[in-house]
Amino acid sequence: MNISRLFILRPVATLLLMIALVLVGLVAMRVLPVSSLPNVDYPTIQVQTFYPGASPDVMATTVTAPLEVQLGEIPGLQQMTSYTSPNRTSSRPSTPPTATCPPVCRRRRRMPKSTRPTSLS
């Protein structure tokens, strides 16, 4: 016997089966734990540089561009965000949550003190 024919010939059974499935789905939706926004810490560093009296164009060409080249060598780099304003630039490279921080930390320790990031999180 064809399965669709079975449901066509027995509409009450079909309706009861559908109601049962909806009820099971509603109960499961309330019982099962679901985290829409999991708590994930992304390994990032933020590098801020200051150059008093410099325009944004000068900051972009003399500070931000070379800094992005150096930070671009971080293994597993996914994204880099940079902001340039008068006298200041800020760069934030991000790696995937599965990446470990030690390579970034070791790279930070090798930088001269004048170019070290101001925060490491």
pLDDT band of residue 108 (cuts 50, 70, 90) is: low
Distance CA 50, CA 81 (A): 17
SS3 of residue 114 by DSSP: helix
Q: For residue 84, what are the β-bridge partners?
A: 89
Query: pTM for this structure?
Result: 0.49
pLDDT above 70 covers what percent of the chain?
76
Task: Kindly state the average pLDDT of the residues 23-41.
Answer: 82
What is the pLDDT at residue 14? 95
- pLDDT of 113 above 80: no
Distance CA 91, CA 47 (A): 5
Q: What is the DSSP string of 15-78?
A: HHHHHHHHHHHHHHHHHS---SS------BEEEEEE-TT--HHHHIIIIIHHHHHHHTTSTT--
- pLDDT of 68 above 70: yes
Indicate the CATH number for domain 45-120.
3.30.70.1430
pLDDT band of residue 117 (cuts 50, 70, 90) is: very low
Provide the residue type at 18 as one letter: M
Domain spans in the chain, listed from the N-terminal domain onward: 1-34, 45-120
